[in-house]
Amino acid sequence: MGLFSHTTAFNGQKYSKLKKECLKRGEKFSDPKFPPHDSSLFFSKQPPGVVTWKRPQDIVEEPRLFVEGASANDVTQGQLGNCWFVAACATLAGVKELWNRVIPDYKDQEYGELHPGIFHFRFWRFGEWLDVVIDDLLPTIDGQLIFTHSREKGEFWCALLEKAYAKLHGSYEALEGGNLSDALVDLTSGVSAHLDLTVGGYTDDFEKRKQLFKMMSKEMNEHALMCCAIAAHNHEEVEMRTNVGLVKGHAYGITACRKINIGDTGLFSLFKGAQKMRMIRLKNPWGEREWNGAFSDGKRRSGFVYTTSQLTKMYSRSPEWSKVSASEREKLGLTFEDDGEFWMTFEDFVEHFTDLSICFLINTKLLSFSKTWHETVFYDAWTIGVRGHNTDRAGGCPNNKDTFLRNPQYRFDVKDEVDDVIFHLMQKDTRDRKQEGIQNLVVGFHVMKVEENRRYRVHRSHDSIATSDYIRTRAIFLREQLKQGRYVVIPTTFKPDETGEFIFRMYTSRDPDAKELTKDEPKIPWYSCVKKPSIVTAVTVKSASDLEKQSSFGGEADSYCIVKCEGETVRTPVAKNTTNPTWDTKAIFYRANPEEPIVIEIWNSNVLVDGFIGRAEVEAPVNATVMQIELPLYGRRKEKTVEKQGKLFVQVYSDDDLTSI
């Protein structure tokens, strides 16, 4: 399901077929699925004037889809509160490989003689790329485009792209107010993370700022897309300008992260002796209202047009930029246009901005990344059904202890000693039902460490490894470092008995052998000769103490355990270079012969042949409580009365209800 997977025609409209029909008839395309009517604009209010739908040929003499390609400076927001989408488009414009996916075969779509007035764009929605066909009739007032447009009057790619996105959601108004992360995902199929800069301690902690900048630079080099914003605390603050020229409740695209040399400048003392200064470049989709603090383009009078010579003089007087060498300024590609794009120090960035969205582009063959990820995808739903049935899958978050484990459950393995794991939960978008008052659900997910051989659904909560935020948003992101072992992740709504479809994506270094857990317990066919299990036992091999040293030179042990029960074995990781190892490894067994003990052997890991250390037997009858047991070690079966050095510590619980654990 990667970056460039199968494409589906939205509303069944096939671009090539429709274009061919228009050319054959010598007519321009008019889209019956998104007509030039007020209903395509707004569903709850009137247009801001008399709207006339015009084709680009009726607005300028020689329209173009692109003028000298696409860039962040092209995109300018119009009379629609969709800066979140506009900022994402501006950010994406700089990544040609991705841009060509969103605007496919763009050279063939370019304006020319007898153009049929039909275009198509692609957006990634709920696991597939949708190809959206539109006509080029655009809403205008007094001959001017009223929504997103290009700074170049004759360039129309951004206006047409916005129309396709509006069609996807049912109207232009549906795009009012949105999430930066959602737009980035729709344009790339990546996974998007949100970072609250106010809670990370970045303003006070130099090392944290350094690591954040390092991460942002690395991900941007790997084509990650980034946007940021300043949170508005109430409706009155939305689009309010701060005293440094930034706008609250408004999305900015991040277009570059750079370091510049300041070792031989007067700036050296201002940055605590650092040889390099971290800088970040941002783009305001309005095309104006820039940052006016340190390293800004300079103070300007609103509405005044400056000549190039005036801008150069202003630049030369800038107390910060004048101290940066000409070569460093050239590397930054510094310009003086009032185009909404500006530089600021990273210290100022984390001080003034509150929210950062990063869209990670992973698991694609198109681009070259430093790490190859394995993608696992589950399409599923929270559903209400008969209690105990596999349709009963809407239990709410972990706060709902009696119902939480009714949710869908997915088990996966971390096969390396430690692995970076990315989780991304996405519910089906409700923006196209905005006029019905339908909202996204509050969603999140919970990760538990379970038994190494867990194959059936979890019925009792295990150790919590991670829990995502629970937010009323389309998608939730979490990145965690997990140790080797088996885990179960449970996506949930916040409240029980809320229903909805979702996609759960997971990225690991190796194939995690992930599977949905659907069965509650082992099912033995009536015709089978196999004896039915009568009890379930959970064993945790905690640790050992004072094991025998494993060489004539008194070397420590590299020990591991093998747990054996009725033909099934579970092996712990190796605890290296210690005679007092800790494993804390869990196993679960469904036992048909509970009178037989569970056997645990301890071995020393060697290059050629592993060495036997000791053996213990665990009696595990049905017991109402968890038992903590200290076991002596003995020799192998033929020497089972010969006591070995050391003790083994285990935790055991058994129940005759097979769905109790």
pLDDT at 455: 97
Q: Helix, strand, or coil here: 5?
A: coil
To the query of whether residue 83 is one of the catalytic residues in this protein, the response is yes
**By C-alpha distance, which of 411, 407, 389, 387 is closest to 398?**
407
Q: For position 275, what pLDDT does the model report?
A: 67
Spatial distance between the Cα atoms of 263 and 359, rounded to a whole number of angstroms: 34
Q: Is the separation of the CB atoms in 634 and 614 below 8 Å?
A: yes
Q: Are 576 and 608 in contact (CB under 8 A)?
A: no
Phi-psi region of 289 (alpha: psi -120 to 50; beta: other; left: phi over 0): left
Instruction: Provide the token pair at 373.
Output: 């990820």
pLDDT of the residue at 130:
97
The span from the CA of 50 to the CA of 139, in Å, is 10
Tokens representing 309? 């010579």
State the pLDDT at residue 556. Answer: 85
What pLDDT was estimated at residue 194?
Answer: 85
CA atoms of 598 and 594, how far apart (whole Å)? 9
Catalytic residue (choose from 120, 223, 250, 424): 250
Q: Are 518 and 552 in contact (CB under 8 A)?
A: no
Is 284 in the active site? yes
C-alpha–C-alpha distance, residues 628 and 352, integer Å:
54
In the predicted model, residues of the chain with pLDDT beneath 50 are 1-4, 268-271, 273, 299-317, 364, 366-369
Give me the numbers of helices (H) and strands (E) for the chain, helices first please.
12, 30
Catalytic position from the list 22, 83, 158, 565? 83
Catalytic residue among 73, 82, 179, 284: 284
* DSSP of 110-122: S--TT--SEEEEE
What was the pLDDT predicted at 552? 56
pTM: 0.85
Delineate the domains of the chain, giving CATH numbers in brackets: 7-189 (no CATH), 192-299+307-360 (3.90.70.10), 374-516 (2.60.120.380), 535-655 (2.60.40.150)
Going by C-alpha positions, the residue among 26, 23, 6 that lies closest to residue 15 is 23
Residue 37 catalytic? no
